[in-house]
Amino acid sequence: MKKLKVGVICYPTVGGSGVVATELGLKMAERGHEMHFITSSRPFRIPDGQPNIHFHEVKIDGYAVFKYPPYDIALANRIARVIEEEGLDLLHVHYAVPHAISAALAKDMANSDIGVITTLHGTDVTILGHDPALKNTVRYGIDKSDLTTAVSESLRQDTLSLIEPQKEILTIYNFIDEEKYRPVDPGPLKSELGIREDEKVIIHISNFRSVKRISDIIDSFKLLRKETDSKLLLVGTGPEKLEMMEKAREEGLEGDIIFTGKRDDLPELLAISDVMFLLSEKEAFGLVLLEGFACGVPAIATNIGGIPEVVEDGKNGFLVELGDVKAAAEKAKRLLEDPIMHQSFRERAIETVCNKFNSSSIVLRYEELYYRVAGLE
Ligand code: GMT
């Protein structure tokens, strides 16, 4: 079968969508396809000189006349050039708004009938879809695409009911790099972070946006801390970080909550962790759950969005209702105090990644769609 030339448009450096787009690009490149990332900066997981990977930077000057530099138009212009210069077979865009819109404009500019796959990751639908001004734009992006995928069944259903697109939407789950995320030896990390060997570790990893409800995590940890010797690791950074540091101080938990900042050693941090907390109010999938599972860390997570498709209640974690910090603390205590249950959840978590979210099967699924959209079935 002919190897494909694919244009990939994503937010390269932040969030799960960038990770999924990059990992998928790397896996497709390993399969011999030529992957062209058209982005504002080099995706951070892609080293220089990686075979079959090309990077086309979108540059935009800050002309004084524009209050907001028109990135989406600059992106469309760059996509149009890459379509022509590289002879791309298809575009894979992550996020309907703005990327699917830029792709539609690029096709028009290049006078090309290139196929477009759009992958929805969540916030474009679950947040923008409620804004009447943007709902039609999201629908336009989907309907202009040849094929749209959603990262969970929940997101697919939300898109159908909120956006009412004309085009069909397929669910393709996210995956992670199983070679990176696996049980590893953390060395002396636990003591380096000032955690005693006998203390349990709760971990939360995110971009500290308000949807992540870190305040609930701190409240729940406060309850848990009264009963179980434990520390809370808050990994990452973002808009709510300072406020959450202040809250930890006010609650008298300064010594028990460790704000690590952004870290590259996530498998090691997960290796010293006993439970992951993800108490978000919106989550189309929750990629971080898979990262934790692959390293053998069960989760306590909210019963919202795509999370119940990842967390099987009572098997690889526990589901709690949004805002129920007491239930989260109780379930965590149960799990932490029962080593047999913890071991069985740990094994089930690793199995979940191998079976339901296996990267090889998911990559093949995308590849099949790439051939379909490129008209080469
Ligand atoms: O959740 C975020 O803040 C970042 C956002 C992103 O662009 O990566 O995450 C969305 O896409 C991820 C990858 O598909 C999903 O795992 C997240 O659940 C989704 N976030 C939301 O739906 C809030």
Share of the chain above pLDDT 70, in %: 99
Per-residue pLDDT, 48 = 82
**Is the Cβ atom of 171 under 6 angstroms away from ligand 1?**
no
Question: Could you tell me the pTM of the whole model?
Answer: 0.96
Q: Convert the pLDDT of each residue in 162-204 to its tens digit.
A: 999 999 899 999 999 999 999 999 999 999 999 999 999 999 9
- Residue 129 near ligand 1, beta carbon < 6 Å: no
Distance 242 CA to ligand 1 centre (A): 22
Q: What is the pLDDT of residue 377?
A: 78
CA of 315 to the centre of ligand 1 (A): 24
Cα–Cα dist 303/281, whole Å: 9
Nearest residue (by CA) to ligand 1, atom 5, is 15
Ligand 1 contacts CB of residue 115 (under 6 A) = no
User: Which structural domains are found in the chain, ordered by start?
Assistant: 5-175+358-373 (3.40.50.2000), 189-355 (3.40.50.2000)
Rounded Cα distance, 77 and 46, in Å: 24
CA distances from 243 to 14, 208, 215, 276 (A): 21, 10, 9, 21
What are 358's two structure tokens? 């296996």
Q: Which residues pair with 170 in a beta bridge?
A: 149
Cβ–ligand 1 distance for 236 under 6 Å, the answer no
**Helix, strand, coil share (%) of the chain residues, nearest 5:** 45, 15, 35
Average pLDDT over residues 118-145: 86
Please give the order of strands across the beta sheet that includes 257-261.
257-261, 230-235, 200-205, 275-278, 299-302, 317-320
Ligand 1 neighbourhood includes 206 CB (under 6 angstroms): no
pLDDT of residue 15: 85
With the most atoms of ligand 1 within 8 angstroms of its CB, the residue from 20, 22, 121, 302 to mutate is 121
For residues 202 and 184, what is the distance between their CA atoms, to the nearest angstrom? 17
Q: Is the CB of 209 under 6 A from ligand 1?
A: yes
Counting atoms of ligand 1 from 1, which one is nearest the CA of 119? 14
Q: Which residue has the higher pLDDT, 1 or 208?
A: 208
- Residue 43 has what pLDDT? 81
Q: Which residues are CB-contacts of 133 (< 8 A; sequence separation ≥ 6)?
A: none
Among 121-135, 196-210, 335-349, which is the least confidently predicted range? 121-135
Q: Which residue has the CA at smallest separation from atom 4 of ligand 1?
A: 15
Closest Cα to atom 20 of ligand 1:
283
Q: Is 230 in the pocket of ligand 1 (CB under 6 A)?
A: no
**Does the pLDDT of residue 132 top 90, yes or no?**
no
85 vs 294: CA distance, rounded Å: 40
Q: Which two tokens stand for residue 144?
A: 């202009």
pLDDT at residue 14 greater than cutoff 80: no
Whole-complex ipTM: 0.98
Distance 376 CA to ligand 1 centre (A): 31
Any atom of ligand 1 within 6 Å of the Cβ of 283: yes
Q: Could you give the CA distance from residue 296 to residue 347 in angstroms, rounded to a whole number? A: 7
d(CA 161, CA 125): 10
CA-CA distance, 318 to 311, in Å (whole number)?
Answer: 7
Going by their DSSP bridges, the two strands 90-94 and 299-302 should be labelled as unpaired
CB distance 362 to ligand 1 below 6 Å = no
What value does the mean pLDDT take over residues 111-135? 86
Question: Ligand 1 centroid vs 121 CA: distance in angstroms?
Answer: 6
3-state DSSP assignment of residue 127: coil
Does any ligand 1 atom lie closer than 6 A to the CB of residue 16? yes
Residue with tokens 């589901």: 319
Distance 129 CA to ligand 1 centre (A): 15
Ligand 1 atom closest to 285 (CA):
18
Atom from ligand 1 closest to the CA of residue 280 = 23
Q: Where residue 64 falls among pLDDT bands split at 50, 70, 90?
A: low
pLDDT tens per residue, range 20-49: 999 999 999 999 999 999 999 888 778 888
Look-up of token digits 């609650």: 251
pLDDT at 141: 95
For a mutational test of ligand 1's pocket, the pick from 156, 283, 289, i.e. the residue with the most ligand atoms closer than 8 A to its C-beta, is 283
